[in-house]
Structures are given as structure tokens and as C-alpha cells.
Amino acid sequence: MNKKIRHLLSVSILIVLGVLYQDSYSGTFNSYETKELNFTIKSDSLRLYADLHVPPFLENRPLVIALHMNRSNSRSYDDFILFVDDNLCGGNPAKVFYCPYIVAFDLRGHGRSTTKGQNTTTYKDRDENEYKKIPSDIAYAVNKMLSDTSLNIDTNRIYIIGASVGANAAMMLTEHLPIVSKVVMLSPGEKYIGLKPARALKQFDGEVLIFAGKEDNYSYHSSRNFTEIDTTRIKLEVLETGNHGTNIINNDSTAMKRMVNWLLLSK
């Protein structure tokens, strides 16, 4: 039995199971289960925290890695997680095959990720050397997750969403995680606090979707320049707004839907 046939059979079985489950439990699935994760970065003993949202069906799930804006934290993706839960996991049995693991990180110096051994680090310092460590931090944590046999992550469906400085870090993360196939960049910039994603964009052979607000001048012009690197792989969604980063999707349900459809439902 070839891979395509196995895939189609798996989807069919999940749809049937989803319908049966839905009928048995008054029209709803179980929602995500959330687990707090933490990792010690060996180079400087940073304690890196994340929330892993575990889907109700575990076989061959995609993984979405979510990286937040500067001066924010993992909770900025709560609306995205709720949208996915409602539309792919708990609310739609026909699409449950696409329900992913979502891991939302507190980047170094943000949220819970401020302890380095006996010292602390904070975004208020705006230390470029600290920010430049973010891509390797996340790569280390994700590789730890991929080695965890209790998780069943489909390594052909590893995706990243990043916002603002997190968008730059998301693209630069692909240099450390070559198995990534899709990246969403919300309001990237040509340089944010030392993070410059242009080289990674040129080298990445997967698909990229960029969202930028037309009134968010620096990000808008940076995004247009990024798109010119390769118009076949890199797509730009320009919105008539000044919203930045995760505010683009959190304040615009149409943008949220477009992003989720492109990331999780399109081939």
C-alpha cells in the first residue's frame, strides 16, 4: 500500500471516527489539553518556557511553532489557538486530520523565560546578543520535542508563525530546522533588534506567507522587499491597517481565517 493510499485511508477513518464521536458527545469534541514545557539552554542556563497545546487525536499531527512580538509573551496566540480549536479540532470532525500540536514559546527575556542560572535577562535591556540567540533556543527546544516518543508529530508538517521580531526569528529558525515547510511572518522587518531574516529567506525552499499593514510603514516596505526575493515562494498579504504583529490576526477575523487556511488546510 503506497503512502498516498495510506494517507487517504487515514483521513477517511478519522472523518468517520469524528462523526461518531460528535454524535456521541452532543456535537462537540474534546478541546486542546495544555501542558507547560521548560527547557534549559546549555550555553547560558536560560530556562525557556512554552505551552504545548495537545490535540484530541494524536496520530501524525502537524506542529505549529508560535513566536510572539517583542514585549509580549506566549498568550498573544490565545485567539489563534481558540480559532484552530473551534474550527479544526473541537468543532469540525471533517477537518480533525488537520488539527495540530501548537507550541507557543515565551522567548528569552519575556514572560516566564527570564532566568539564566543565578542571573536574569529581560527584553527591557534590548541586548542584540540576547535576541540573536532566540532562533537557536527554539531549535533546541523543538528538537527535544521531536525526540519525545510520547508525541506523534508529523515531521513533514512542521510550520512556524512569528510576529514582528518573532517573525524575523521564525524565518531565521529555518536555518536551524531544515524540516520546516511553511512560515507565516506577521509584520516582519529587515532588521529588528539585531535579527535580519533576508539570508534565511533566500535559502529557505519552503513556502512563506507575509502579512503587513499598509499603515505600518517600516514593516510594509520591508515585507515588499522580502517578497521580491522570490515571488513564487513568498506571498504578501497587505491589509489596510496599522495593526502590527499578532494584532493583525487578533483584530481581523478574515486575516485569521486566511492564515489558518493557508497554513493548515492548503497543500
Residue 27 clears pLDDT 50, i.e. is over it: no
Residue 17 clears pLDDT 70, i.e. is over it: no
pLDDT averaged over every residue in the chain:
89
- Give the other-Cβ count within 10 Å of 19's Cβ: 13
In angstroms, what is the C-alpha Rg of the chain? 18
pLDDT at 25: 29
Residue 110's pLDDT band (cuts 50, 70, 90) = very high
CB 151 within 8 A of CB 101: yes
Higher pLDDT, 15 or 133: 133
Q: How far apart are CA 148 and CA 156, in angstroms?
A: 16
Q: How far apart are CA 117 and CA 253, in angstroms?
A: 41
Inside any domain, residue 25: no
Give residue-wise pLDDT tens across range 223-255: 999 999 999 999 999 999 999 999 999 999 999
Tell me, what CATH number does 243's domain have?
Answer: 3.40.50.1820
Counted domains in the chain: 1
Domain of residue 168 covers 30-265
Residue 210's pLDDT band (cuts 50, 70, 90) = very high
Whether the full predicted model's pTM is greater than 0.85, yes or no, is yes
Q: How far apart are CA 35 and CA 55, in angstroms?
A: 11
Per-residue pLDDT averaged across 130-140, rounded? 97
Inside any domain, residue 59: yes
